[in-house]
Amino acid sequence: MAPSKKHNVKKSASENSQTSYKQTINTKTELVLQSRKHANNIFDLLEYLQSEDEKEVVFAINACQKLFCELLERGELYVGQLPKEEEILQGDRDADEKYHIFIRHRYNSCVELLLENIGHESYQVKESALCAVMKFAAAEGKRPLQKQDWSQHYSFPKELTSGVVWGLLSEKEDMALLISRFQEYLEMDDVRYYVMNATRDNIHRVMDRNKRAEMRVYQNNVFTLLTNIAVPSQGSEITNFLVKQEGKYEDWKVAKLKEQKRAFELMWLTFLKYKLPMSMYKKVLVILHDSVLPHMSDPTLMIDFLTAAYNVGGAISLLALNGLFVLIHEHNLDYPEFYKKLYNLLDPSVFHVKYRARFFHLANIFLSSSHLPVYLVAAFIKRLSRLALTAPPTGLLIVLPFICNLIRRHPSCRVLIHRPSAADETCTDPYVMEEEDPALCHALESSLWEIKTLQNHYHPDVSKAAKSINQALPEPEDDIGKLLELSTFELMERDLKSQSQSVPLEFDSAVGLLQSPREVLGLHFSLE
């Protein structure tokens, strides 16, 4: 069916309009580049940057990028402290200088509009504006607009990167997608260094201004930007620069791994010194040991944050201990309270929360050393055994092999299983469950009667796992990895799929009511 004539007229009008603004923008751009007498056309191009039509804005951004990059390359922008436009007519300035001042002011206006468009509702506009500003940064690097202090040897448009950072770290809008696009530039060593410095400054100003207000959107944007920044592991990897310098790179802070790590460290410490939402604590702690601590010049500076995070409680406490564990084993941090804090995290909730798998995975790592004191390991074994009495089957199938593995690593704890005098002792257990210090809970004086109790558990898999402690434990440890994510649904599904066996019964199957004198009712309630 052919489209209506009215529809064709509308489509034709739209196409004509699109062709019209493209042609107008292209023409004005070319005129400015051809002759100085057409310089006022720049005002019209800047008007298009403020259009309500998304396509017009994108086309105007690309045109302005081409125009000012070309003018920067030609050296037609004023260099140095820029005079006010009102001062152009004053003093003895020649025509060239006046023109350069004029173009520099128009360039500044363009940059300001581009930075505003980073917050545009259209992603296409955001992306075009971001890329245009970074093109200007590269062009300014070649042709600096400020007179350089040549004792520094180097130039970089820090103001432009700072403006981009302020645009990306919005307080009202989620900028995750645009930050992901910006990651391409963060791989450049000079851009990354100055972005880290600008981010630190931004966090200081925004958070100090809003100390009592919730800043969830802003903090999520900061976290997204921070997690997209990765510092090289070796100084020889610092070779990728947006702005190519003529001097010796080894004299430039950006080219020094120590300075990169220092900037990275200060940026994270600044972010973490302010109060975070609970969800943000979890996000930070999950990546801290892998993505943050290895890139810091002094990872032990995280001790205050990790200690504060432990005091939050729950999953956050466990994740904080993971970071502390890394500092203890890899950076020689002296933290004698570590295992006491881990011990106190063991409560009935660990079997019922969604982070159960991660808890036992990390606890397995923390208790993997064979050099831990016997009393400490015994305390963990005994506490887990006591908690097992009220744990669901899925939790028991994790904790029972876990306890067996601890006994394998520390044969001295076998006394908890085979205590000769246990049968003659009273029913009082010397173990003190309420004691927070594992050194004072008397675990080594107790026995694993709880495991003996679980050998009569209603679930056959649990009963079987509990009975394994009766025999000599084989050398290889049980692999608990495949059990960590086991859910109740999976356990029931596995049981349903298992082959049922014929079980002998101790009574006669009923075939009718009061049919046999051997039946209970038949014996006591005869119909006669």
pLDDT at position 218 over 50: yes
Which structure tokens are listed for 297? 């010049």
CA–CA separation, 507 and 510 (whole Å): 9
Report for 58-67, 287-296, 318-327, 504-513: range of highest mean pLDDT: 58-67
Which structure tokens are listed for 302? 């995280």
Predicted confidence at residue 151, as pLDDT, reads 43
CA–CA separation, 199 and 226 (whole Å): 9
pLDDT at position 7 over 50: no
CA–CA separation, 53 and 121 (whole Å): 11
| DSSP state at residue 288 | I
Predicted confidence at residue 1, as pLDDT, reads 41
Predicted confidence at residue 483, as pLDDT, reads 52
- Class of residue 253 by CB neighbours under 10 A (exposed 0-12, middle 13-18, buried 19+): middle
- Whether residue 264 contacts residue 229, with contact meaning beta carbons closer than 8 Å, is answered with yes
Interior angle at CA 186, CA 184 and CA 188, nearest 5: 90
CA–CA separation, 350 and 359 (whole Å): 7
**If you average pLDDT over every residue of the chain, what do you get?**
83
Candidates 245, 235, 259; CA nearest to 153 is 245
Predicted confidence at residue 395, as pLDDT, reads 83
CA 32 to chain CA centroid, Å, is 47
Q: Where residue 17 falls among pLDDT bands split at 50, 70, 90?
A: low
Residue type, 57: V
CA 248 to chain CA centroid, Å, is 36
Least confident of 6-20, 97-111, 302-316: 6-20
Interior angle at CA 419, CA 415 and CA 422, nearest 5: 145
CA–CA separation, 118 and 113 (whole Å): 9
CA–CA separation, 389 and 46 (whole Å): 73
pLDDT at position 328 over 60: yes
